[in-house]
Structure 1
Amino acid sequence: MFFKYLLFFLILSRIVASSQQEDVGFTYNGFRGVNMSLDGLAQITQNGLLMLANTTKREVGHAFYPQPVSFLNKSSGNVLSSFSTTFVFAMFSELAIAGGPGIVLVISSSKKFPGAFPSSYFGLFNTTNTGKSSNHVIGVELDTTQNKEFNDINDNHVGININGLISLKSAPASYFSDEENQFVNLSLRSGNPMQLWVEYDGTEKQFNVTLAPISIPKPKIPLLSLIIDLSQTIMDPMFVGFSSSTSALDVYHFVLGWSFKMNGKAKELSLSQLPKLPRMGMGSKTKSRTLVDIGFPVICVSLVLLSIFIIQFIVRRKKKFAEVIEDWELEYGPQRFKYKDLYIATKGFNEKQLLGIGGFGKVYKGILLPNSKEIAVKRVSHDSRQGVREFIAEIVSIGKLHHRNIVTLLGYCRRKGELFLVYDFMANGSLDKFIFENQSSSRMNNNKTLSWNQRFHIVKGVASALLYLHQEWEQVVVHRDVKSSNVMLDEELNGKLGDFGLARLYDHGGGDPKSTHVVGTFGYLAPELSTTRKVNPSIDVFAFGVFLLEVACGRRPIEPQASEECLVLVDWVISSWCKGLILETVDPKLEMNYEVEEMELVLKLGLFCTHSIPTARPSMQQVVRYLEGEVPLPELLPSLSQSHSMPLEGTGGGDFSIWCPYLGSSTSPSSSIADSLLSGGR
């Protein structure tokens, strides 16, 4: 009898515990004394703010409810339950025109994210796992950076993400105003507190996201509404919390209060009880005195002084635009532009003149008077205390480059914390907008893609530009950021290499250049950079090889949504080449309209240039000769009886087993594949 009662008690306890778990709910009007699972930069301040990010560069911060939450209704056969949550947040950036990564509300199978990258990866994913269904991550991102790799719509948006960084649905940050009967824009990085509501109806499978300033009640119309079944993503139990990260800018990310409820509506936050935000950028904790304490006479005097100050400011501003000009800059003469001229040329840096947004700033179109010359002006921030003189000297040196396939850098302007680089205007923009799917340009008489002849002409032009930089100019110039988005197209679709913001110069015959930080773009970085950190032309050759494959295959170097075999472009082309199917990697948008010999040359040369051994790569002089047909590309001479060696004729040899593991397996390739390899391809 005792055992029957004991068994009944245990079953009843499990039922009660399960019921309690399914109905998890909590409300935090501030986080003072709250038990949160914190990681990285995340911390709770003295006044009860949950701070997810601060001025530490390129780090991550995680904050989670410490206990796992069951999202499945055990009593109803593990049916996915409904849930509701709301929180108040504030994000501040040191620059009004640019922000860092934002905040993500996370529902995840784990509180730990080993190997996750900061910056635009939000501390949740990296290049190899983003987009994989095995992640079991649901996120609502408040993103203040536009990352074209993840199809971001702008640098101020809200998105619903599943297992990766490409939003299933997103919208510019805004809220629906009942009074105006329309959506009103908000700036996520303004530092002003805002409230977000996230609701999921397990029965209707409807996911709603609503945003508003804290002074506005919850709008009736959500910002985002998506029909989606989350049962494939939920792996019971799950953890709920927040993730954030930092990049190169000073940012602060705060959560002021948080409420969550399973199987019900999250309890409303008491806005009056939320902790106060610090005064960002003021540098002082002194409390301002009230109007009553100041008194009417002091107010009058202050208004008079303020009026005088405003009048003087307006007069000074009309006379001269503020610029930073030091004596040592006078020697650069014509290379230095006046800020006023650039301001007028771009119509006050009007958003209508915006050509694009890159990792280093915004680019505007301008008409430079009095000759009505079309220019492109890149506006970036800089630290005036660190190496500006050397940087400007290098910019001026690069401005002396003159080649038909290099975008001409006309000069620069420096003003306070900003640097303006002035280039020749390229009418057709960057090459990547033409070759990648869903990004085709409408400027080519409605043609959706570049023909193969046009692509091959562009490839040869970029190769000629790199040869000029590496060997033909008075100094050796290593570009360090060769990629399709840095190749610009003029009116006649000639390819011109641009964006020398990462370039390094050194004298011919000057020996190995000094080590430097690893900079560039994921997918284009030569493997040896992680150990040697030496800047030399071979790293440009590697990036050029990736660029060749981009142009031929119409794919980015890394495709997060692709299968594991096709994730990395170089690996995919190598695998196809090993199978004798290299032409199956060709961009399908070309619809077989290409010269087979030229296409095979470009694909194989791309693999040649991306060899893992720097000394086995060709020089740009050799590359140009291959592309011009002056000399044949060395054929691959694999000995199928030798399992690990596949040297390239004329390159000093090298282990190609890392290129073609099929040749290193215990089973030899078929004779048909061997024949195709010996004959130079498919």
Structure 2
Amino acid sequence: MMKLMTFFLLSFSFQLSAVLCAGDGFQFAFPGLAGANLTLDGNASVTRDGLLVLTTLKTNLKGHAFYPTPLQFRRSPGGKVRSFSSAFVFAIVSDYTDFSAHGMAFVVCPSPESFSSALPAGYLALLNVQNNGNATNHLLAVELDTTQNTDFQDIDANHVGIDINSLHSLQSHTAGYYPDHGDGDSGGFENLTLFSRDAMQVWVSYEGAGAGQINVTLAPIGAPKPEKPLLSAAYDLSTVLTDQAYIGFSSSTGGINSRHYVLGWSFAMDEGGPAPAIDIARLPKLPRFGPKPRSKVLEIVLPIATAAIIITVGTVVALLVLRRLRYAQVLEDWEVEFGPHRFSYKDLYHATKGFKNKQLLGAGGFGKVYKGVLRKSKLEVAVKKISHESRQGMKEFIAEVVSIGRLRNRNLVQLLGYCRRKGELLLVYEFMPNGSLDKYLHLGEDMPVLLDWPKRFHVIRGVASGLLYIHDKWEKVVIHRDIKASNVLLDSEMNGRLGDFGLSRLYDHGTDPQTTHVVGTMGYLAPELIRTGKASTLTDVFAFGAFLLEITCGKRPVNDGLQGDYEMLVDWVLENLHKGSLTETVDARLEGDYDADENEGFDSYAMSYPSSTGISVGTISDISGGR
């Protein structure tokens, strides 16, 4: 009987919330989505209390939710698109407090099947590489994006954008609003963080009369709708939308666990007037994040109980102190500002199972690298331990590590943060499951698979793209200082990513780098670097030339000679070039299966690297673009 009564109340509530108005007008309002009968796909679901969950605690997910029936956006075929408006309450929750991935969007599209081939991550489960920008998409999207994607020229990692058939936004703005002061005047702009874990409200409206006008407004939950919209773009959607179209939401995650929620939704068409106000009091509650708040009684009793335990079990406390010494770390006052980028040694110790040899990924002259899994986020990481002495420049070095951690490019291994302990510096990177390119080129019998020429060409383009980004496309110039095959890592799809920024230095565009200490690997060091000790983007380009020869020839830049001396790869290639037998330098394991034009172009570029000052950034750009 109770279940029957509950079903009746839910049905009655739904009938009150979704209303068909007289005439051609149409509107609905859902303060909670339990009775909305939405069409869901991917990771999307609706909880019992009406919370729409578009993505959950996993990476690289897609989620969609649509109103179950298409709406008539034109009164007659070929006519103008009718005016409409929508409002919704959303929340984005990341495992981290300072960054998230990737975002969500309100969409109007021809059908839910339009997104069957859409990609997650930066494509927001809306489009893919092939159809991005096509007029046949007939797509309007209002994106709430928490990642700055350079491929789509995003303005920052916390913005709202209007998208027409493409993820290159027609118009975008940093997330925020213009609060009203009650006298009809809008106040100054106030920032909002989309992934703040707090609910916010969005209003989207389109005025079909005249040339067409799209307005998007954002505000904190409970705040009245600001008079001044965040975005306002003149655009005639009659050139975009189909006669009948679906409305709903799309969301995706990337390499970070993020959850995207919709708590309430309303919509109105034409005579339906503006979208009905959402009853904030009836919205479902967001899940609780973090530990439960302690009660007042516990705050009083706990110190007393703790003191009693310390007095009575001193021996146990002493043992616990000794145990804590295992996780001792160096933490100075000036490091407080880098808090979000600093990992505790305890977390890294447990993630790598105590830095056991079983977790060892590799070792080199600058330290050992261990695989780890962070306990809370379950994120796979690579932890590099580097020996260091306490020195005056440590503060500046850590500041650079944190700055480099803000690099965002698909061809770079993400530097997530650091930790200091006694005489060690630990750098935490995104984990690359296929390891370094070095083992695919040089390990002989242990080589997992032979990399054919298309795969090598793909890796070369990826590294060139990453190098172009850190030299020319980011807000500062980053000098890598150690470009080589062992620092090029391969992800699950065998994409080449430039990694190990532990020796990198950065400086402002238009200024000279002030490095005077020679670091790097023999065979990759430019002559002027050895002579002057001054690293620059050109010394990186020199190392890239050595890398091109290495991946093309399948040999290291410095090899053991027949008489116990060392043989330079570039000298060997030059010798064959003068003999007219340059093709004999190509890796014999390819058995002649390679593109001669591509190979000859790379050899010509690489052979110019003995004089790195003769190589331009434009050449790197050509390679990264595949020309």
Give the shorter-chain TM-score range: 0.5 to 0.7
Equivalent of residue 206 in structure 2, options 195, 200, 205: 200
Structure 1 residue aligned with 2:249: 242
8 A Cα contact 2:110 2:139, kept in partner: yes
Secondary structure class of the residue paired with 1:128: coil
Q: 1:389 to 1:484 in 2, by over 3 A?
A: closer
Q: CA deviation at 1:630?
A: 2.6
Q: 1:386 to 1:134 in 2, by over 3 A?
A: farther
Equivalent of residue 512 in structure 1, options 411, 429, 446: 446
Q: CA deviation at 1:22?
A: 6.1
Structure 1 residue aligned with 2:100: 99
8 A Cα contact 1:70 1:236, kept in partner: yes
Q: 1:132 to 1:391 in 2, by over 3 A?
A: farther
Give distance in 2, aligned partners of 1:549 and 1:189.
Answer: 29
Structure 1 residue aligned with 2:460: 544
Give distance in 2, aligned partners of 1:44 and 1:200.
Answer: 28
Per-residue CA deviation, residues 498-517 of structure 1 (Å, 9 max, x unaligned), is 979545587975732569xx
Equivalent of residue 187 in structure 1, options 175, 189, 193: 193
Q: 1:80 to 1:604 in 2, by over 3 A?
A: farther
Q: 1:42 to 1:301 in 2, by over 3 A?
A: closer
Identity among equivalent positions (%) equals: 30
Instruction: Give yes or no for the alignment of 1:338 onto 2:329.
Output: yes
Q: CA deviation at 1:91?
A: 2.0
Equivalent of residue 49 in structure 1, options 27, 48, 51: 51
Instruction: Give yes or no for the alignment of 1:272 onto 2:281.
Output: yes
Equivalent of residue 178 in structure 2, options 176, 182, 185: 176
Query: Which letter maps to 1:237?
Result: Q
Matches within 5 A, 1:153-302: 153-179=155-181, 181-202=187-208, 203-263=210-270, 264-281=273-290, 301=297
Instruction: Give yes or no for the alignment of 1:630 onto 2:546.
Output: no
Structure 1 residue aligned with 2:9: none
Matches within 5 A, 1:363-374: none
Give distance in 2, aligned partners of 1:305 and 1:200.
Answer: 58
TM-score, normalised via structure 1 length: 0.53
Q: CA deviation at 1:87?
A: 0.6
Give distance in 2, aligned partners of 1:427 and 1:349.
Answer: 8
Give distance in 1, aligned partners of 2:304 and 2:241.
Answer: 63
Q: CA deviation at 1:195?
A: 0.8
Structure 1 residue aligned with 2:149: 147
8 A Cα contact 1:160 1:167, kept in partner: yes
Equivalent of residue 137 in structure 1, options 118, 139, 142: 139
Give distance in 2, aligned partners of 1:232 and 1:378.
Answer: 51
Q: CA deviation at 1:271?
A: 1.8
Q: 1:347 to 1:208 in 2, by over 3 A?
A: same
Structure 2 residue aligned with 1:672: none
Secondary structure class of the residue paired with 1:349: helix
Per-residue CA deviation, residues 233-275 of structure 1 (Å, 9 max, x unaligned), is 2233221100112334443322111111222311111222222
8 A Cα contact 2:107 2:249, kept in partner: yes
8 A Cα contact 1:626 1:632, kept in partner: no
Q: 1:382 to 1:125 in 2, by over 3 A?
A: farther
State the superposition RMSD in angstroms.
Answer: 5.8
Secondary structure class of the residue paired with 2:281: helix
8 A Cα contact 1:381 1:417, kept in partner: no
Give distance in 2, aligned partners of 1:309 and 1:229.
Answer: 69
Give distance in 1, aligned partners of 2:329 and 2:373.
Answer: 9
Q: 1:50 to 1:391 in 2, by over 3 A?
A: farther
Structure 2 residue aligned with 1:84: 85
Give distance in 1, aligned partners of 2:269 and 2:586.
Answer: 63
TM-score, normalised via structure 2 length: 0.57
Q: CA deviation at 1:165?
A: 2.5
Give distance in 1, aligned partners of 2:306 and 2:84.
Answer: 53
Structure 1 residue aligned with 2:40: 38
8 A Cα contact 1:637 1:649, kept in partner: no
| Bigger relative contact order (CA 8 A; separation at least 6) | 2
Q: CA deviation at 1:123?
A: 1.6
Structure 2 residue aligned with 1:58: 60
**Unpaired stretches in structure 2, ≥5 consecutive residues:** 1-20, 309-319, 387-393, 416-427, 474-541, 560-567, 599-626
Query: Which letter maps to 2:459?
Result: A
Q: 1:38 to 1:652 in 2, by over 3 A?
A: closer
Q: CA deviation at 1:45?
A: 1.1
Q: CA deviation at 1:394?
A: 7.2
8 A Cα contact 2:369 2:385, kept in partner: yes
Give distance in 2, aligned partners of 1:414 and 1:60.
Answer: 24
Q: 1:501 to 1:329 in 2, by over 3 A?
A: farther
Structure 1 residue aligned with 2:612: none
Q: 1:385 to 1:138 in 2, by over 3 A?
A: farther
8 A Cα contact 2:555 2:569, kept in partner: no
Query: Which letter maps to 1:547?
Result: V
Give distance in 1, aligned partners of 2:371 and 2:330.
Answer: 9
Give distance in 1, aligned partners of 2:264 and 2:219.
Answer: 15
Per-residue CA deviation, residues 660-680 of structure 1 (Å, 9 max, x unaligned), is 9xxxxxxxxxxxxxxxxxxxx
Give distance in 2, aligned partners of 1:182 and 1:274.
Answer: 29
8 A Cα contact 2:351 2:374, kept in partner: no
